[in-house]
Structure 1
Amino acid sequence: MTRERTIGNPLIGDRVTFLVTAAESDRQYELVEVELNPGGGNGLHYHTSFEEEFEALEGLLYIDCDGRTHVLKPGEKLVAPRRSVHRFYNPGHEKIRFKVRIVPARSFEPMLRIAYGLTNDGRTNGKGVPRNLLEMAVIFHLGESYLPNLPFVVQKGLFAPLHALAVWIGVKKRLLRRYA
């Protein structure tokens, strides 16, 4: 089945276009272009197994990374290394565009497709968090993303068994089939 290259999330106000998928790069990297509406952005998080390379294309891209705020102008880049606490956002009044390169490619695309699909289907709360704990565990597992204000071992200890249960009872397979 051919998937749309562009997906959107109305809660964070963005549209993501998959320019290069993991399969297309032989799992070396993934490349996406993001259109972010005024007031849009994501929450602070970190990744354990990949870095994100941001490049502003249009407008000012704000990135908080390890306690510092960076404002990227078109053509400027910033790398959020593995385990760096970061987020991107648009406090301005105009839509912005930027690219993100995920190195190495992991499961970013299926994670994002599932998260956005659940949001668009009304299966998340107002912040985009899945109402179903097993669906949340699948997203956390695929995204290898963690919250900075909860110890890593607690998050792994909570989500690893929930993910295993989601695999065992078919939740992960259903999500991948429907959204990814």
Structure 2
Amino acid sequence: MYYVVLTTHHNRPYLSKIAFIARDFESWGCRVDHYPDDSPYIAEIQRREKRGNRREVRRVNIMELWAREVVARKYEFRSRMPMAIPVVTEEHLPGESRRHARTSEIVQDFIWGLVAFDRPNLKATTFPVVDPRPLPEWPYALYDDDVETRDPVPAYESGERPPAYVST
């Protein structure tokens, strides 16, 4: 099934086959139409997309637009809520919609995690303290020491013995 998403970001519709993206845009107030895979309308949109102007081909795709919207909405929501975010359950939704809602939440949290990793001041939670003891040397000694090639092939595959068996 194809989803045609009409947003205010562009005058032409966006096509998507991803159900949870269409569901989210619909919940955000955008018009979303559903069409079967063999729809002549979808075929015409795809034909025009292929034939379109090169500058218009570079427009933001629907997944990027969705990710930006998720980040903006989660940042706004989390900045207003100093306490922990409550867990929302989707038991009232039918089976297919519940699955799409869960998928959407997982991907939204993943995108938010990427943004929080990129910008540490957006982190909602703190990470546990890292163990201050140094890591052992042996895992790194198994790999090629040539920094230029960064070859992750253990040196002992070329006939040498692993460093754990080398006596000093």
Greater relative CO, 1 or 2 (CA 8 Å, sep 6+): 1
TM value normalised by structure 2:
0.27
The structure with more radius of gyration? 2
Looking at secondary structure, tell me which structure has more helix per residue.
2
